[in-house]
Amino acid sequence: MNRAFWKNKDVLITGHTGFKGTWLSLMLNELGANISGISLKPEKNKIFFNSIKKKIKLKESIYGDIRQKEFLEKSIKKIRPKIIFHLAAQPLVLNSYKDPVGTYETNIIGMINLLETVRKLKSVKSLINVTSDKCYHNKNKKNKFRETDPLGGFDPYSSSKACSEIITTAYYNSFLKDRLGIATVRAGNIIGGGDWSDNRLIPDVIRSLKANRNITIRYPLAVRPWQHVIDPLIGYIKLMEKLYEFPNKYSSSWNFGPKSSSEVNVKKIVKDFLKLWNSNIKIKVEKNDKFYESSYLALNTSKVSKSLKWKPEINYLESLKMTANWYEAWIDNVDLYEFSRKQINQLFKKKYVT
């Protein structure tokens, strides 16, 4: 990553109060960007964002719903960004069963509202739409998905992300390819400090540990590509640099996944996490036949390795340790801004920043 590229660049992050959005804001702040954000107003459980928002000196932090086209257009015109990372979404599979309409409206209509605004705003030079590794048509075969594999989705969340991919490509080819770069990115199952989402594995484990109660899991044998949040975000940042400078070459879809050793089942990652925490709480399995869950999911990252020279730097055990250490720091009332900066810069200093 090139500090000179990011110095004083006007960047918009939609969904900047969320888990990945907060980490991305902090990382771009370290690189010297001028960051603005558009999100729903943060709830009390947005502990990470609320603890760092004043220290990263956001240029603009605008709260509202991306489903409201006039609001979104007015906000983006006020910010006038050159670069947009689109992360605002309904991000949870189980919530998509409870509120399918809201999920489709946010993940599809909200994204269309953004693309329509970008069509009118000439200041924007590049945009990354963050979708999901669940956008593929998953037949539970032991193959790693490539970017060219068919899209699909058996649940409202997954299918909404597949739709988002298709529509983004259509807008690029129909309206935008002559003047800006647009890419979509699909990452593995992200873990790391600061995630408080309901019905997400590590936050559920943390809540159980803090309450000293047994942890309940739903799909113990489901295999997922676990990776620490900093790893794919470095990839997104590197991709954005290339997309900005060479829009025609890099406007496509990209997988960001971990090494094969990080592809483990739900029960194993919980057991390994509890071992790091020295906890004796028990793991209980709740049989859940009501909602579909694929048994295997993994990503082929040969494209990003060859074209971006990106590879995952944080292995499976390191990802767990970094995550456990972050939540321990939170429990001990450590300054989360400084602690998170330290985790970021340990990786930045390895090889990635010039």
Mean pLDDT of the chain: 93
∠ CA(67), CA(69), CA(72), 5° rounding? 90
Side-by-side strand order, sheet with 181-187:
60-63, 34-39, 10-14, 83-86, 126-130, 181-187, 253-256
Q: Is residue 351 classed exposed, middle or buried when 0-12, 13-18 and 19+ CB atoms within 10 A define those classes?
A: exposed
What share of the chain in percent tops pLDDT 90? 84
Residue 333's domain is classified under what CATH number? 3.40.50.720
Amino acid at 70: E
- What integer pLDDT is reported at residue 288 of this predicted model? 66
Domain that holds residue 158: 3-352
Total tally of structural domains belonging to the chain? 1
CA 296 distance to own-chain centroid: 20
| Residues whose CB is less than 8 angstroms from the CB of residue 260 and which lie 6 or more positions away in sequence, other chains included | 298
Q: Given a cut of 90, is residue 38 above it in pLDDT? A: yes
Out of 54-58, 227-231, 329-333, which region has the weakest mean confidence (pLDDT)?
A: 54-58
Q: Is residue 150 classed exposed, middle or buried when 0-12, 13-18 and 19+ CB atoms within 10 A define those classes?
A: exposed
Q: Given a cut of 90, is residue 69 above it in pLDDT? A: yes
What's the pLDDT tens digit per position in 156-165? 999 999 999 9
- What integer pLDDT is reported at residue 289 of this predicted model? 63
What's the pLDDT tens digit per position in 93-142? 989 999 999 999 999 999 999 999 999 999 999 999 999 999 999 988 88
Q: Given a cut of 90, is residue 207 above it in pLDDT? A: yes
Nearest to 84 by CA among 50, 40, 123, 57: 123
| Residues whose CB is less than 8 angstroms from the CB of residue 213 and which lie 6 or more positions away in sequence, other chains included | 281
Quickly state the pLDDT bin for 226 (edges 50, 70, 90).
Answer: very high
Amino acid at 41: K
Nearest to 2 by CA among 230, 246, 229, 234: 234
Quickly state the pLDDT bin for 351 (edges 50, 70, 90).
Answer: low
Q: Given a cut of 80, is residue 44 above it in pLDDT? A: no
pTM of the model: 0.95
Instruction: Answer whether 237's CB lies under 8 Å from 1's CB.
Output: yes
| Residues whose CB is less than 8 angstroms from the CB of residue 60 and which lie 6 or more positions away in sequence, other chains included | 36, 37, 75, 78, 79
Instruction: Answer whether 215's CB lies under 8 Å from 284's CB.
Output: yes
What's the pLDDT tens digit per position in 169-199? 999 999 999 999 999 999 989 999 999 988 8
- What integer pLDDT is reported at residue 218 of this predicted model? 86
Helix axes 316-331, 266-276, angle to 10 degrees: 50
* Alpha-carbon gap, residue 222 to 228, rounded angstroms: 19
* Alpha-carbon gap, residue 134 to 173, rounded angstroms: 24
What's the pLDDT tens digit per position in 279-323? 999 999 987 667 777 889 999 999 999 999 999 999 999 999 999
Largest distance between two CA atoms of the chain: 58
What's the pLDDT tens digit per position in 233-270? 999 999 999 999 999 999 999 999 999 999 999 999 99
CA 125 distance to own-chain centroid: 21
- What integer pLDDT is reported at residue 348 of this predicted model? 81
